[in-house]
Amino acid sequence: MPAGVELHWYEIRDILGQGGFGITYLAYDKNLAHEVAIKEYMPAELATRAGDGTVAPVSPELEDRYRWGLDRFIDEARTLGQFKHPNIVRVRNVFELNNTAYMVMDYELGESLQDLLSRRKILDEADIKTVIFPIIEGMKQVHAHGFIHRDIKPANIFIRVDGDPVLLDFGSARQALVETRNAMTGVFSKGYAPIEQYNTTDEDDTQGPWTDIYALGATLYRSIAGIPPTDAVDRSSAISVTSRDTYVPAKEIGADRYSPTILEAIDYAMRFDREERPQNITEWLNTFNHDADGGTETKDRPPGDELIQTIIKAEKGDVSAQASLAYIYAKGIDTDKDEVEAAKWFRRAAEQGNINAMYNLGVMHAKGRGVEQNYREAFHWYSEAGVHGDAEAQATLYMMYMRGIGVEQDESAAYDWCLLAARQGHVNSMYRLGEMYWRGQGVKPDGKEAFSWFRRAAEKGHINAQLHLAFMYGKGQGVTRNDMESYNWYRRAAEAGHPQAQYNLGVIFAKGRGIEKNTDEARRWYQKAADQGYENAEQALARLTQ
């Protein structure tokens, strides 16, 4: 649907993503005056859109399949709407219109774990505990409702601007624990899906919490190894032919870099036979020897001397102590988690000029944590932090001006804040500045400036910037055409795991652009892209075979 279309009181503004089962839009809720994400049931193989915007099956023969999927979509949205876990995407509404259905969810600012891993390759142990353990804890609630996700992977874990993770895209979820017959689908992601997702039948109950545990283990594996684990089908083939599993254990890859308990827990989750994996989240968490926050249980412990001293100093007006106390309450360190107290102390520190507290107070107002959600108040505190030089706040202000969140939409102001953050070395802002020059958003289009900022971000490891740089070299846009440089940047992005870069590298080898033609290398890179679900790569592999 184009921008400007209205669905009840929601106005479509942009497309956030598109897959085989639906389209996700950025929309504006006119009733509550804030942005939301809306997922439309639109199965690509089954449905088409008419000129008046209505959706219908592509043929009468597919009517039953289309209706079955539509009913499941609505049922799932209603069930997901019952979840109120901070690390599970919040479904706010579902409604039928245009002969299809729409799921309204919270719109989150940030980036996916896949994007983060593309830049950083791996996570350290502290970040693993911060990013993935809250998702594991959230899945306990999902499983308790008889749901399994079936598509947990880095692309479906989103890191909010405040650093908290949220699990997205339950489009493949089915109530398989209670309604397995005639409800199974072949939705899976290679490397993250266990073998039972490939061998699903209507006759038995092969999928359950252990299926999601495998995917969570695979996500942890990707986070420590830099690459996804061996695909389950390849493992199955090797086991059947040689009786040897091709899976390389996490305890070997992560030795001396991560705690043995984490590595053992990953390998436990990644066992090939489902019966040998943990059968539920609680059982699996026990193998980590710590709670889902990544530390020993603390909520029942009395405050220690250090906490008491921090409270005393904060009460006496010590700004550093106030900021520290706010963080302690926000995270529940050596005391009960209390976001109201956290917001109070962040405010006291912010009003005395603590820049970090200004930023965190903006986050709490934006998310409604400890205070009533108020985007204008969030904008105020982000602005205070941004004026004082906080690059993360400046990057957030860019997004707020671009989307009109808490402030009137203003691409020129967005450009100004993005420039400030980019000049401080904020990598995402460097990339976004390149996009603004490329598209002419908030500034006149300038291919050379776009190239300059894409290059800076690319050299710091930003995978999408590397991809764009490769494209610009290949087309001679913003820079003199250079096929070898195009190849080099596509290669860097491809080796970091970007499927489109892997596909384009396959094209370069297949056609011999800037390098010697090499069909075997073309096939290898096409296969890597195909393994990540890149559809064009599958077609390219078929053409090579012909």
Q: What is the pLDDT along the chain (546 residues), one digit of tens a residue?
A: 888 889 999 999 888 877 667 888 999 998 888 889 999 998 877 888 888 889 998 888 888 888 888 888 888 888 788 777 888 888 889 999 999 999 999 887 788 898 888 877 888 888 888 888 899 988 887 887 778 888 899 988 998 877 789 998 775 443 332 333 343 344 557 788 898 887 654 444 678 889 999 999 999 999 999 888 988 888 888 888 888 888 999 999 988 889 889 999 999 999 999 889 988 888 888 888 544 444 433 333 334 567 788 888 888 888 888 888 888 888 777 778 888 999 999 999 999 999 989 999 998 898 888 999 899 999 999 999 999 988 889 999 998 998 888 899 999 999 999 999 999 888 889 999 999 999 999 999 999 999 999 999 888 878 888 999 999 999 999 999 999 999 999 998 888 778 888 899 999 999 888 789 999 999 999 888 887 667 788 888 888 876
* Contact in structure between 228 and 192 (CB atoms under 8 Å): yes
* Contact in structure between 407 and 376 (CB atoms under 8 Å): yes
- Token pair for 222: 């990707």
User: Longest Cα pair distance anywhere in the chain, in angstroms?
Assistant: 78
Go through the chain and tell me how many residues it has.
546
- Token pair for 256: 């001396």
pLDDT recorded at residue 234? 86
pLDDT recorded at residue 528? 84
pLDDT recorded at residue 116? 85
Give the C-alpha separation, 359 to 378, whole Å: 9
Q: Is the dihedral of CA 334, 335, 336, 338 positive or negative?
A: negative
Name the residue among 161, 168, 197, 204 with its Cα closest to residue 400.
161
Number of Cβ within a 10 Å radius of residue 181:
10
Give the C-alpha separation, 317 to 311, whole Å: 10
pLDDT recorded at residue 177? 28
477-486: long-range contacts at Cβ-Cβ below 8 A with a sequence spacing of 24 or more? Answer: 477/447, 477/451, 478/438, 478/447, 478/448, 478/450, 478/451, 479/447, 479/448, 479/451, 482/514, 483/508, 483/513, 483/514, 483/515, 484/514, 484/515, 486/513, 486/514
* Contact in structure between 543 and 530 (CB atoms under 8 Å): no
Query: What SS3 state is found at 514?
Result: coil
pLDDT recorded at residue 349? 92
The pTM of this model reads 0.57
Q: What are the backbone dihedrals phi and psi of residue 272, each rounded to the nearest 5 degrees, phi first?
A: -65, -50
pLDDT recorded at residue 279? 87
Q: DSSP H helical segments within 37-121, as ranges?
A: 63-80, 113-120
> In what side-by-side order are the strands of the sheet with 157-160?
110-112, 157-160, 165-167
Give the C-alpha distances (Å, rounded to integers) separating 44 from 2, 19, 56, 79: 17, 8, 11, 24
Give the C-alpha separation, 450 to 382, whole Å: 26
* Contact in structure between 292 and 285 (CB atoms under 8 Å): yes
